[in-house]
Each structure stands twice: as structure tokens, then as C-alpha cells.
């Protein structure tokens, strides 16, 4: 997802779930996977924002095969730079299970 309109639609119509380091906006049961990653300037300079998005992208790639089709936007929170990879992975799993985004046969 790259268009501002798409992001705004998901922010308004989607379900949102918060954890310590990530916010997920989702519209499940769409026909295909669409995913977006954002990091606001509150996180820091461009290097820190890009690192946060890279970390989220890597986790998404790890779990994408076990997710239902849908539209997902992952928003990095300020604390993402302080958490370890293990903690971020736990937050990621928690956020996906809360949103019921896992396929029935996985988890």
C-alpha cells in the first residue's frame, strides 16, 4: 500500500489494536494481502524510522504465510527502538492473535 487514500480508509474503517511497541489497523477477509508500515517522526530521525519499519517488515514476512487475507497497517510506536527482537516478536504475535488474523490451521 502506498496511497494516502488507502491508509486513511483503513484507519477509519479498520479495527485497531495496541501493544507496547506496535499498533495494528486491520480489515481482515479481503481478497488479497495488502500491508503498510508507518513510523512517525516521534520515533526519531529517518534512520530510526526506517529501522523500525524494517524490523516490522521482517516479522511480517516471517508470519505472512499463516495470516488470513486482509489489509494490515503496522504503526511503530516510540518504544520500538528500546525493545529487544524477542519482545517485539511477542508483541507482534499478541497483536495478530488479538485481531484474529491467523488462519484457522496455524498459530
Number of compact structural domains in the chain:
1
Looking at the predicted structure, is the pLDDT value of residue 69 above 70?
A: yes
Per-residue pLDDT, averaged over 48-66, amounts to 94
C-alpha cell at 8: 486513511
Looking at the predicted structure, is the pLDDT value of residue 82 above 90?
A: yes
Query: Does 14 reside within a domain?
Result: yes
What is the reported pTM?
0.89
Query: Does 102 reside within a domain?
Result: no
The residue range of the domain holding 19 is: 4-96
Query: Does 105 reside within a domain?
Result: no
Looking at the predicted structure, is the pLDDT value of residue 104 above 70?
A: no
DSSP H helices in 1-45: 4-13
For 1-107, strand residue ranges (E) read 15-18, 22-28, 34-39, 70-76
Q: Per this entry, what is the length of the chain?
A: 107
- CATH number for the domain spanning 29: value is 3.30.230.10
Q: Rounded CA gap, 19 and 23, in Å?
A: 6
Amino acid at each position: 500500500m502506498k496511497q494516502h487514500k488507502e491508509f486513511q480508509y483503513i484507519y477509519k474503517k479498520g479495527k485497531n489494536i495496541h501493544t507496547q511497541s506496535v499498533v495494528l489497523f486491520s480489515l481482515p477477509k479481503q481478497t488479497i494481502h495488502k500491508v503498510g508500515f508507518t513510523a512517525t517522526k516521534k520515533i526519531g530521525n529517518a534512520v530510526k524510522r526506517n529501522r523500525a519499519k524494517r524490523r516490522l517488515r521482517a516479522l511480517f514476512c516471517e508470519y505472512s504465510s499463516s495470516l488470513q487475507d486482509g489489509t494490515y497497517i503496522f504503526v511503530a510506536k516510540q518504544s520500538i527502538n528500546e525493545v529487544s527482537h524477542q519482545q517485539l516478536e511477542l508483541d507482534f504475535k499478541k497483536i495478530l492473535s488479538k485481531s484474529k488474523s491467523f488462519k484457522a490451521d496455524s498459530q
